[in-house]
Amino acid sequence: MSLYVTELRRLGKRRFTRYMALIGLLVLVAVAVGTFVTNEQIGPEQRAAAEREAQTQYEEQIRHAERERNACERAKATGEQSEGRFPDDCSVITPPPREAFEARWFLPSTFDFRNSFGATLVTYAAILGLITFVVGASFVGAEWSTGGMMNLLLWRPKRLTVLLTKLAALLTGVATVTVLGLLAWTAAFWAIGSFRGTTEKMTSGVWQSFALTGLRAFALVVVAAVIGFALASLGRHTAFALGGVLAVGVVGQFGLGVVLALADVKFPEAWLIPTYGLAWMGKEVTLENYDACNFSTSGDCKPDILTITWQHSSVLLVTGLVLALGAALWAMRRRDIA
């Protein structure tokens, strides 16, 4: 049996891999079920109820305006000091126009597949990326900590071949699960849109946009798995990868955010990793600096804007991937196996 097939079977039979896959599945199912429960399909009954609620709110504002106008007139007649509560002319106290109360504000939440499915792909990528990072780190980290890697190298002494074969097996499993999961995720939310919302206005261009977003989600999940694998191999322990991410993601990013805010940096979010993850999935993120004021010809005050695109994020992803994997391969080739 080839080393690749052996590693692929080892990946599938590890209890930790199965437990993490189950946890990820349960979280994704919980998100889908929560979306299904909190939305409903809008029909004539819901629209009629929204119209009635809008009319009720309008009538309440009429009564409120009448009460305020009467109070204003009494205050003017008795000479009571209102301390700026009422205007000089009580007749200007009138309710808003009926058009200000739109029925759509009172419609129940509904799932519009065309407008909302793209955001769910961000959730899918975040959850599966975290799961695959931990699985990738554990897959090689456990081999180092238990001595399995040393035993394996006695059978196959080619270090880089062994490590890269393990990585190939991991990527095969991750790619298969991610693609199947994307198909199931799309089908689930299409069903939610069909029964608890709408699937109208779906064109070939919209499907192409979703396909590209799904492709970016796939790439993000794969990169997370590779970086987890590389860090655990570099530190020869799963905890090295998990501790490194904890230090960078929680301590480093949170602390860096506080320091940048105290230093009054113009765009502090541009130095934080999550910003680039959102830009990668959403194609771009626009940051605004409200401390700056650029007056337009109309006299409006417009903040400074910085746009981070998916191309900027791709540079960060590729750099992190190359550095982590390159360091792991270099360490595997240079260091003693003991």
Q: What is the per-residue pLDDT across 24-38, written as a single tens digit (0 to 9) for each?
A: 999 999 999 999 999
2 SS3 class? coil
Q: What is the pLDDT of residue 272?
A: 83
**Is residue 222 helix, strand or coil?**
helix
Q: Which of 154-158, 208-212, 242-246 has the highest mean pLDDT?
A: 208-212
**Cα–Cα distance for residue pair 318/222, rounded to 1 Å:** 12
To the nearest whole percent, how much of the chain has pLDDT over 70? Answer: 90
Q: Is the pLDDT of residue 337 over 60?
A: no
Confidence check: pLDDT of 263 > 70: yes
Joined together, the tokens standing for residue 246 give 């904890």
pLDDT of res. 302: 74
Q: Given this model, what pLDDT does residue 186 score?
A: 96
Q: What is the mean pLDDT of residues 249-278?
A: 78
Helix (H) or strand (E) holding 147, with range, is none
* For residue 336, pLDDT beyond 60: no
End-to-end CA distance of the chain: 26
What is the three-class DSSP state of 18?
helix
Give the count of beta carbons closer than 10 Å to the beta carbon of residue 217: 24
Mean pLDDT, residues 67-73:
86
pLDDT in tens, 180-212: 999 999 999 999 999 998 999 899 999 999 999
pLDDT band at 106 (very low <50, low <70, confident <90, very high): confident
The pLDDT value given to residue 293: 65
pLDDT reported for residue 43: 84
Name the strand (E) or helix (H) holding 68.
helix 44-78
Question: Does residue 88 carry a pLDDT above 80?
Answer: no
Closest alpha carbon to 313 in 286, 283, 288: 283
Q: How confident is the model at residue 82 (pLDDT cuts 50, 70, 90)?
A: low
Reply yes or no on whether the pLDDT at 252 is more than 90. Answer: no
Distance of CA 147 to the CA centre of its chain: 37
CA-based torsion, 36, 37, 38, 43: positive or negative: positive
**Which sequence spans correspond to the domains of the chain?**
3-41+111-334, 44-106
Tokens 């309008």 found at:
58
pLDDT confidence bin for 226, thresholds 50/70/90: very high
Mean pLDDT of the chain: 85
List of residues 6+ apart from 331 with CB closer than 8 A = 233, 234
